[in-house]
A and B are shown apart, each in its own frame.
Chain A
Amino acid sequence: AQSVTQLDSHVSVSEGTPVLLRCNYSSSYSPSLFWYVQHPNKGLQLLLKYTSAATLVKGINGFEAEFKKSETSFHLTKPSAHMSDAAEYFCVVRYSMFSGGYNKLIFGAGTRLAVHP
C-alpha cells in the first residue's frame, strides 16, 4: 500500500544550527513529493515539491529536499534554523493514477520542529 513515513515526531534544534526532517515513502512509479509547513492554527503552506525533474529541490525560506530513489527518501533540510521555523512539517506524497494510485495526497504524521535560542 502507498504510504509515507516521517521518522521523527519531534525535532528540537538550536537557532543557527542545521535542520533535518526525515521522510520515507513506499516505492512506486513516479511519485510526486511535497513538503508543507503548518504554523499553529494556520493552514498548510507549500515549502517545495519534487516532480521528477531535478533530484535536489530548493524551496522557500532556505529549505531544500533531496529525492533519493535508492533510499526511497525525501528528507527536508535547512543549513541554519531560525526561530520562525518552529512549526509542524508534513511530508506528502501523491501517487499517479497510472501507478495504481488514486491521485490523492497521502500525508505523513507530521514532525514538530522546535527551535531554541
Chain B
Amino acid sequence: GAVVSQHPSWVICKSGTSVKIECRSLDFQATTMFWYRQFPKQSLMLMATSNEGSKATYEQGVEKDKFLINHASLTLSTLTVTSAHPEDSSFYICSARVRESGTDTQYFGPGTRLTVL
C-alpha cells in the first residue's frame, strides 16, 4: 500500500508556543489529505480536510485559527498548532487519499504525539 510519513513522531513544547507537524505522501501524489486527532483509548476524530492549492475544510468545533493547515504541494500537508496549551496535548494523525482500482482509499501516517507543558 501507499506510504504516508509524519514528522516529528513526538514533540514536547511549552505552553504558548507553536508547533508544526508535517505529513508527506512518499510514493504517490495526494490532492486530499486529512488531519485527525485521537485521545487516549478513543477513536479518531476528523479535524479538517486539506486540499492541495486551496483552503482546508474544518470540521465543526475545530478552530481554524488555532490549527493552521497548509497543503502547498501534492505530497506535503502541514498542521501548525498555534499558541499551544496543555489541552492540545494529543495524538495527531494525518491521512492521504489515493485512488486505487476505482476506489478511494485512505492511508494513514504513523502519528505525532504532542505534549504541551
- Asked if A46 is an interface residue, CB under 8 A from chain B, the answer is yes
Question: Size class of B's contact patch?
Answer: 20 to 34
With A32-B103, A51-B103, A94-B104 as known contacts, state yes or no: A43 contacts B109, CB within 8 Å: yes
Report yes or no: A43 in contact with B43, Cβ–Cβ below 8 A.
Answer: no
The distance in angstroms between the C-alpha atoms of A46 and B96, with both chains bound, is 12
Report yes or no: B104 in contact with A36, Cβ–Cβ below 8 A.
Answer: no
List residues 91-117 of chain A with CB under 8 A from any CB of chain B.
94, 103-105, 107-110
Determine the residue in chain B with the shortest Cβ distance to A44. B108
The distance in angstroms between the C-alpha atoms of A45 and B107, with both chains bound, is 7
Main SS class of interface, B: strand
Report yes or no: B103 in contact with A42, Cβ–Cβ below 8 A.
Answer: no
Report yes or no: A41 in contact with B108, Cβ–Cβ below 8 A.
Answer: no
Determine the residue in chain B with the shortest Cβ distance to A6. B43
The distance in angstroms between the C-alpha atoms of A88 and B103, with both chains bound, is 25
Specify which chain A residues have a CB less than 8 angstroms from the CB of B107 in the assembled complex: 46
- Asked if B6 is an interface residue, CB under 8 A from chain A, the answer is yes
The distance in angstroms between the C-alpha atoms of A57 and B105, with both chains bound, is 15
With A32-B103, A49-B103, A51-B101 as known contacts, state yes or no: A43 contacts B108, CB within 8 Å: yes
Main SS class of interface, A: strand
Determine the residue in chain B with the shortest Cβ distance to A109. B43
Report yes or no: A46 in contact with B1, Cβ–Cβ below 8 A.
Answer: yes
What is the count of residue pairs linking A and B with beta-carbon distances less than 8 angstroms? 46
Least Cβ–Cβ distance between B85 and chain A, in angstroms: 22
Question: Size class of A's contact patch?
Answer: 20 to 34
Determine the residue in chain B with the shortest Cβ distance to A52. B103
- Asked if A74 is an interface residue, CB under 8 A from chain B, the answer is no
Determine the residue in chain A with the shortest Cβ distance to B101. A51
The distance in angstroms between the C-alpha atoms of A5 and B102, with both chains bound, is 26
Query: Which one, A32, A45, A108, contacts B108 given CB within 8 A?
Result: A45
Specify which chain B residues have a CB less than 8 angstroms from the CB of A104 in the assembled complex: 46, 49
Q: Which residues of A contact B (CB under 8 A)?
A: 32, 34, 36, 41-46, 49, 51, 90, 94, 103-105, 107-110
Given contacts A43-B108, A46-B105, A110-B43, 8 further A-B contacts (CB under 8 A): A36-B108, A43-B6, A43-B93, A46-B108, A51-B102, A94-B104, A103-B104, A107-B43
